[in-house]
Amino acid sequence: MADKEFFGHIIDNEEVESLNGERFDVFNPWTREVWAEAAEGSAEDARRAVVSARKAFDDGPWPKMGRTERANWIHKLADKMEEKVDELAGYDAKNMSKPFEQAKHDVARSVWNFRFFADHQRDHCGEVYPMDSGHHCYSEFGPAGVVAAISPWNFPLMMASWKIAPAIAWGNTCIIKPSEDTPASVTHLGRLAAEVGFPPGVLNVLNGHGAPAGSSLTADWDVDRVTFTGSSQTGKMVMKSAADHLAPVSLELGGKGANVVFADADLDNAVYWAVESIFRNAGQICLAGSRLFVEDKIYDEFMKRFVAKAEELKIGDPLVAGTRFSALSSRKHFEKVAGYVHQIEELGGKIWTGGVADDGSWLVKPTIADGLALDAAPYCEEIFGPVCIVNKFSTEAEAVHMANDTRYGLNAMIFTENLSRAHRVASALKAGTVWVNCFFIRDLRTPFGGVGDSGVGREGGNFSREFFTEPKAVVMQI
Ligand code: NAD
């Protein structure tokens, strides 16, 4: 095998080893080979990254810079990302077995995240209120300080960009810790920021595991905001750790999305999105439509078409053109998902298609099952893989009740051609985002986040502004 690539920490615009020289292996889940190594961040490395970000915030030009100038810097980074789209997408494809075309789409969305927040901070500076008392009152949104951002492996670059972009756009400095499973694209992003000439310390990348790298960041008293995307279980630990130094947290956590298909839906559209919402990215999407509810009148027809479309997905090497579905992101994750699939039949469920590949690969095929009790683990718990559990309903009230009967509340989908029902059900669903006759479409001005175990707080547009700044009121006697 050719020499392995290395992904260090990016601190003060330099790519460095850990202070103790430790590294960890980075796998290609399709070949199951180690293709790279990354620096294993220790508590001392985390501190080093925080000190750099603190200094860049306290003494550097970034927070004091004019808003247009800062926007221009961020657009420069976005331009560079566009230039390097194949490299960035290639890293995500190789690092987590994401089909290359999907990875390119993720890079485009990451670029848009940077461009959107660059402009948003320039154009949404605050409000002014001339008061009846003759006073003049205005709000100011100054940067909060040092932001610790922690991201998961399922959209390595895109999830990180969703945090870094608003953090730095609003004048903060940032340390991003990517998942230990996918250090490549985010480290490369840090290299690109240095290459375009960002001031040192504005964007630091800390590689390593949740503990000690991530946990040292969240516990650091020099960190002013913690933005985290990952599992609900880790989110609770992050919140406890940040509470110690009263750093506000934004938590984007797990999901068990409900996808509700009414008999009056456009069936071709509903089937298309049912497949996309649970099998894109091999189901490793917090927003996945993992619980599908289909009205009884169309159940048999829907299942026939759904199974047929799922079986058409081209499975293979993520780097080969045309691949739509590939291996799970790591051995550990494969074992978790396979464990749930094995439970389905043990618990009396029926698998219509899919199952665990038995060739030693980390592949779970697109799996569709029904017949599980409403308290069965594969139905209730987040599997985070290509496993769709289907149920029938006969009334709108029943569908809403089943969809809402979960501790999660990140998102839901409704498929219907009845306009009144679409509005009525969207309003009744317990979810941060509801898609009607579509999936995965975002307007970055609107709130994004979850209810219950799916998260705390919202990000997007002014919601990100509120989190990443210290809003201030100035009242002036005229
Ligand atoms: P995870 O919680 O295991 O890890 C997420 C990140 O947290 C990683 O970078 C990890 O190293 C770090 N981490 C782990 N322990 C930590 C600790 N004690 N302190 C600080 N950081 C720590 O999650 P994952 O397996 O990487 O990602 C999958 C989960 O993410 C799923 O539950 C999925 O639903 C969720 N997710 C949510 C959203 C959303 O927007 N709500 C988006 C993507 C993924």
**Which ipTM score applies to this complex?**
0.97
CA 95 / ligand 1 centre spacing (Å): 16
List Cβ neighbours of 113 (8 Å cut-off, separation of 6 or more).
Answer: 158, 161, 162, 165, 444
- Residue keyed to tokens 């494969």: 334
Spell out, as residue ranges, where the chain has pLDDT lower than 70.
Answer: 1-2
For the Cβ of 210 lying below 6 angstroms from any atom of ligand 1, the answer is yes
Look at the block and give the residue holding tokens 């690092």. Answer: 95
**Rounded Cα–Cα distance for residues 335 and 358 (Å):** 12
Residue boundaries of the structural domains of the chain: 5-253+454-473, 258-436
The pLDDT assigned to 1 comes to: 52
- Name the CATH topology of 258-436: Aldehyde Dehydrogenase; Chain A, domain 2 (3.40.309)
Q: Is the CB of 106 under 6 A from ligand 1?
A: no
Ligand 1 near 96 CB (within 6 A): no
CA angle 432, 292, 262 (to 5 degrees): 90
Using most ligand atoms within 8 A of CB, pick from 24, 150, 382 the residue to mutate for ligand 1.
Answer: 150
Nearest-atom index, ligand 1, CA of 230: 30
Please report the pLDDT score of residue 3 as a whole number.
85
**Active-site pick, 40, 180, 286, 459:** 286
The H-or-E segment that residue 374 falls in is: none
The rounded Å distance from CA 182 to ligand 1 centre is 12
Q: How far apart are alpha carbons 245 and 242 in whole angstroms?
A: 6
Q: Supply the pLDDT for residue 127.
A: 87
Bridge partners of 434, per DSSP, are: 412
Please tell us whether the domain made up of 5-253+454-473 is placed in CATH 3.40.605.10.
Answer: yes
DSSP 3-state of 42: coil
Is 436:419 a contact under the CB 8 Å cutoff? no
Closest C-alpha to ligand 1, atom 39: 252
pLDDT single digits (tens) 359-417: 999 999 999 999 999 999 999 999 999 999 999 999 999 999 999 999 999 999 999 99
Report how far ligand 1's centroid is from the alpha carbon of 214 (Å).
10
- Whole-angstrom distance, CA of residue 61 vs CA of residue 344: 57
Residue 185 CB-half CA count within 13 A? 35
pTM, whole model, 2 decimals? Answer: 0.96
Locate the ligand 1 atom nearest the alpha carbon of residue 150 and give its number. Answer: 9
What pLDDT sits at residue 12? 98
Query: 183 CB less than 6 Å from ligand 1?
Result: no
pLDDT at 2: 62
Pocket test of ligand 1: the residue of 154, 206, 227 to mutate, having most ligand atoms within 8 Å of its CB, is 154
Q: Whose CA is nearest to atom 34 of ligand 1?
A: 254
The neighbouring-strand residues paired with 414 are 260, 436
465 lines ligand 1 (CB under 6 A): no
Catalytic residue status for 17 = no
DSSP string covering 308-372, please? HHHHHSPBS-TTSTT--B---S-HHHHHHHHHHHHHHHHTT-EEEEEEE--SSSS-EEEEEEE--
Ligand 1: nearest atom to the Cα of 450: 41
Burial environment of residue 259 by CB neighbours within 10 A (0 to 12, 13 to 18, 19 or more): buried
